[in-house]
Amino acid sequence: MTADDRDAFAAAYVLGLLDPRDMQEAERLLAEDPAYAAHVADWRERLSELDRTAPSLPLPQGLWTRIEAGLDAPATAQPAAGIRTETVRAEAAWPERKAQPEPALSRLWRSLGFWRGIGLAASAAAVLLSVALSVAAVQLGRKPAMIAVLLTDSREPAAVVHTFRDGRAELVPLAPIDVPAGRALEIWTLWDRARGPVSIGLIDEARTVRLNLDELPRTDEGQLFEITLEPSTGSPTGRPTGPILMKGTASAPL
């Protein structure tokens, strides 16, 4: 990292713009690299004036009592107490999938009629969006190898999956999704029908995330991606069990 890169990384950290993986790296640097820590401190001071533009709100009754009650609790009782250890929790959003005994395929997954509508007939809006987003990626010097526009039941584009030649992949939501209490959004891909759908991510709300395609071969033309609603810790069976919220197939950009 050049000095400029390091400073830009510190600024992005202070702005809160790092993704979870970079955030961990930022906090490792903060603990180990005094020069980096100095950049962070400089950026905090530069931007701290913005904190003073927030209104001072009335304090809710009982808040101090709750704080005081927590003072005696051992630090371990508080989930992720240390400032630097907290990012570990973000990792929990990526549970490792163990090989599961093949369960009966879920009803929805088997329903061919449900899958049939996808095809290449994405709406004009979807095409425009995917173009805009792939342009964005190109400007970052990372042209996606494959793009899948995920459509809802009503054919609205709701998210885009980008896969890159280096094996990385990301989901970029295009619309908010209501997630009921105790549920989460699980992202799946179907590379091989014999193997069945593979979980590649679990999120609690519509937000951009890195997808885990590490254990899969390179994404193919026509490979299916979908998001289902699952329990907050992910599907208990390793296969989609909840309703499918959106799906789409991968195409190579021109």
Residues of span 96-135 touching other proteins by CB under 8 A: 132-133, 135
C-beta of 12 vs 125, nearer to other proteins: 12
Residue among 12, 105, 108, 125 that touches other proteins (CB under 8 A): 12
Specify the stretch interacting with other proteins by CB under 8 A; choose among 34-42, 148-156, 191-199, 213-221: 34-42
Report how far residue 63's alpha carbon sits from residue 57's, in angstroms, rounded to the nearest whole number. Answer: 13
Q: Does 192 bind other proteins (CB under 8 A)?
A: no
Residue among 110, 193, 232, 252 that touches other proteins (CB under 8 A): 232
CA 240 to chain centre: 18
Residue numbers 161-190 binding other proteins by CB under 8 A = 172-174, 176, 178-182, 184
C-beta of 15 vs 252, nearer to other proteins: 15
C-beta of 45 vs 102, nearer to other proteins: 45
CA 77 to chain centre: 28
C-beta of 190 vs 209, nearer to other proteins: 209
Q: Does 253 bind other proteins (CB under 8 A)?
A: no
CA 30 to chain centre: 24
183 contact partners, CB below 8 Å, separation of at least 6: 229, 230, 231, 232, 242
Report how far residue 65's alpha carbon sits from residue 252's, in angstroms, rounded to the nearest whole number. Answer: 58
C-beta of 75 vs 120, nearer to other proteins: 75
Q: Does 41 bind other proteins (CB under 8 A)?
A: yes
C-beta of 112 vs 154, nearer to other proteins: 154
Beta bridge partners of 198: 189
* Shortest Cβ 93–other proteins spacing (Å): 6
* Shortest Cβ 102–other proteins spacing (Å): 28
Say how many Å lie between the first and final Cα of the chain, rounded. Answer: 33
Report how far residue 160's alpha carbon sits from residue 177's, in angstroms, rounded to the nearest whole number. Answer: 14
Give the DSSP letter of residue 98: P
Q: Which residues of 194-208 are buried (b: 16+ CB within 10 A; e: fewer)?
A: eebbbbbbbbeebee
Q: Does 1 bind other proteins (CB under 8 A)?
A: no
**Nearest alpha carbon to residue 185 among 232, 127, 145:** 232
Residue numbers 55-84 binding other proteins by CB under 8 A = 55-61, 63-64, 66-68, 70-71, 75, 78, 80-83
